[in-house]
Structure 1
Amino acid sequence: MRIDRITLFSVPIDVGMELTRYVASQSIDPALDVLVVKIETSTGLVGWGEVCSAPPYYLPELSAGAREGIRHVAPVVLGRDPRQVAAILAGIAAALRGHGNAKTALEMALWDLCAKAHGLPLVDLWGGRVAESLPVLSVIRIGSREETLAAFETERAKGYSRFQIKVGAGEPHEDITTIRMVEEMALPHERIWYDPNRAWLVDDAIRVISAVRDLNPMIENPCESYEECRTVARRTGCRIMLDEVIDGPQRFLQAVQEQVLDVASLKTSCVGGIEATRQVMGLAKVTGVPVRIEDYYGTGILLACVTHMGHTLPRNLNFGLYDFVSVDLPMVRSPLPVTNGEVRLPDDCGPGLGVEVNEEILGAPVAEMAAT
């Protein structure tokens, strides 16, 4: 068995824009796409992966970079036995630094293919499930007190108990008001955190957190850089969830050692790909730091992958996945359902990712690479 062909597809996607700092500040609105990777073998087995690269005003990456990164390392992959995935990944790592978006899609497809070659669900190839189900987060849009409460009640009725609240789009005093309003609405069992999308200056962050210190809120990535977030953590003692500034396993370790984070949000493209994310997950088990596993955006392919990954951790280390499935982009025919605010791999999960890709919506390939 050998890998014969790698095919790339680009599927347009409209992510939409929450009320964040980026709505007012962006000067270029790039078209976003989901880059889908299809890897075919000499025996007919197929592996699938995807990545939705973030707009470059949000993260330092481009969709074109993902495509060209995969094209660059294709000679390392083509002609290889897909069951020897560790050796293939070592070759990719040696040939390509950075490019976490390219590695996310390609490594996802390689692991899907490897698990199928062994006839196993991906979670079992990775050692089997530890958690039986995983919590899924919901994003609450802030409006008036009545509108916000109605949004909470709608999501609570669906079973959600983990909520991300967007702040940072206005003035610091408005964020103080929002945090106080939401905390009054929170129920004892709910986990709520506030995400300014790195919008606050250190001064803003200290001002807001000091004003709501009695509520002890959790803040997600308050400032642009890791160093700024570290200053805020040290000056305020606030509970912090780091997100985009976690750019690899070493940064995660540094944040643990410097006592900067309480929770880590692991975007696979930021961290460096699927393998780098799994390395951080191993460190999370050792250090006892809960994690969210996700990427900037995606579809049912990504949801399946992060659900397999999350099931290899104890439930108390899974802080909340995100549901990427959209009816506007039915990338897989039977996406994993989110039920009562939870997602679970079925007991009869098929081999690999366990989802069937809807090839009818992929369109014409944007690149094809074949073994000679």
Structure 2
Amino acid sequence: MLQATIKDNPSSFLIGLSNLELKLDCNHLPRRIEESFWIMKYNIDILTLNQEKVEETIITNAPYWDTFERFYRNETGSTPKPWYNYYTPLSFFIDNKHIEFSSFSYRAGIDLLLDKNNVAKNTYTFSVFSEHVSNLHYLQAEYDKLHNNSTPYNLIFVQDGDYLDMYIDSVRSSNYIFTYVRGTKEMAKEIENFVRREPYDPSKILWPRHANGTSDYDDQTILDHKTGNAYLTLHDSTIRTEPDSSSDIVADIKKDDVVTILEKNNSITINDIQSNWLKVKTDTNQTGWVFGGDISLNDATSREEQERYEAEHAELLKVAQQYQEKLEQERKAEEEQKAIEQKAQALRDEEERLRQEAMDKLIDFDVFLYVTGGMLVFIILLIVVILILKSKKKNRKSK
């Protein structure tokens, strides 16, 4: 297992090394999907309610707050302020590699690592292969469905403009989890202020709109597209040479075709739809003008972006493979060096053994010489004594 940390994020994961493989079967997520801060929808609903209904709606959607004050006393031993002083809206952000879900006070969020994804029109399917929870005992209750699934499993998001419906494994009501709306961190902070009964700036709230420009919060149909981004077409239409419905037709476009916004003209209203004439580029490189009422608010990735992403990914894969080959060469070189060192050590050990053996033999020879020399001296002394004794005996006889 390997412990990995996400850049700019203190969360870490335990990952099986077999999962760490660069693949080319990933689709590039639309830029606005990755750049957005997705907030649970009921947090927008409460902004239109009175205080009593705000509390009721929050506790219905997040029963945790109904018992928070008792939980706080049990955990800290002190008396908390009213529950709403601790409120933060649940949210998540996403990219090609992971999804990070936030949590309430004193709870734990969940982070999911993604293996691959599939994009089909307004539906995004991600293969989840690993998860991280800082403390399972305090896991945010809303994420139990995610945690209770054995990885790998599919997490599916269906986009409807500024809305994302989340499902597990398949798009059906029994697998539905939450609906999120597009927002920003500043917007989440204003919602927090609203619930906490602190000064609140409604101008920072981005009221969500469906793919067709309608809203749950007003009676207008407004389609406001961002220059430089790609979108799916809302229905069949035509691209024209000028921002005028009477100008020549350049090409026909079909429902769910991908167009990239190059330029926006002034806002106008046509058939009760407020939008702009948009200069667009199709995936077949045709350029012209189309009324924004014909372009949905569903994000897309242009063919050009996808091809650029694949080229960059392929280059990254090439570099990674080269690096892997270099690591393999270094590993083999290390093994060869280790084998050489082991042989050298074996030779040194053998040399030491032979030296010790020679020393042992030399010591044995020294002992032999010492013993032999001692015996020789003894024999010589014995002979001398015998000769002396014989000499003395002979002298006595001669007398």
Bucket of the pairwise TM-score, normalised by the shorter protein: under 0.3
TM-score by length of 2: 0.24
**Which gives a bigger RCO, structure 1 or 2 (Cα 8 Å, sep 6+)?**
1
TM-score by length of 1: 0.25
